[in-house]
Amino acid sequence: MRGNIGQGFGVEIMYPGLSLTPDDSGIGPIGRIDRAQVQPGHLIGMHPHKDDEILTYIRGGEMLHRDTVGNEKRLDNTHFMMMNAGHAFQHEELMLGDNPVRALQIFLRPNAADLEPVVQFHEFPEENSVDSWRLIAGPHKAPLLVRSDVRVFDALIRNDVQLRLPITDTGRNMLLYVYSGKITLGDQVVSEGESLFLTGFDKHPTALVASDVVLFSFDPKAEVYRRGMFSGNQRQSATNPLCR
């Protein structure tokens, strides 16, 4: 845990590639996942991002987002945001209300450097998608667009329910992250804050308790830029940052 919850802000940072690859802290287009808890009234002041595609996924509380491209928007567990940071972008976040903000900040990798900065917002009709995969972000035909070959889904899986993975294309890998609860997949048990990397899809997750999960589906051979400010490779400074 970085920061101090008692002083307003704490975050657990997960680099999904650290236990899987010798030379990349991320996996393909997934650079980093931050699990944050921020106290009401706390201000995360104006700060920069560059060459990151950033999904703000709130599970509790609400915040006010302001940025250098002119947006001021309230975010909560039905109002999500994608910051396509591109070549230059800054924003700040003020925690609103009486309850802590509990959220994921998901740093995805773009397919190229120095893209135009864009900020997108989407309101979902419900807080949760119960026993059904909900598409949140993707490269096309998604509520929030990401400039990379990755699709992000979520679901609230009820106790004892098995939910089939959303397999639409061959040659893709998946990363399953458990935000809350506990699931099994084959002989693996995945608890709150843990993730599971998948290359075969003959088994499907079953909830041991009601579980809030996030699923990433991506092409491992797709082009990604690995030197984003937050999504970039922390293991080495790549000599050829644009990798296939």
Query: Binding-site residues, please?
Result: 47, 49, 91, 93
**CA-wise closest residue to 236 among 19, 39, 26, 65:** 26
* Integer CA distances (angstroms), 114 to 9, 52, 56, 236, in order: 30, 10, 21, 20
Helix (H, G, I), strand (E, B) or coil at 143: coil
Query: Torsion angle of alpha carbons 175, 180, 182, 185, nearest 10°?
Result: -20
Helix (H, G, I), strand (E, B) or coil at 6: helix
Number of Cα atoms under 13 Å in the Cβ half of residue 230: 22
Query: Binding-site residues for Fe cation, please?
Result: 47, 49, 91, 93
Residues facing 54 on adjacent strands: 83, 107
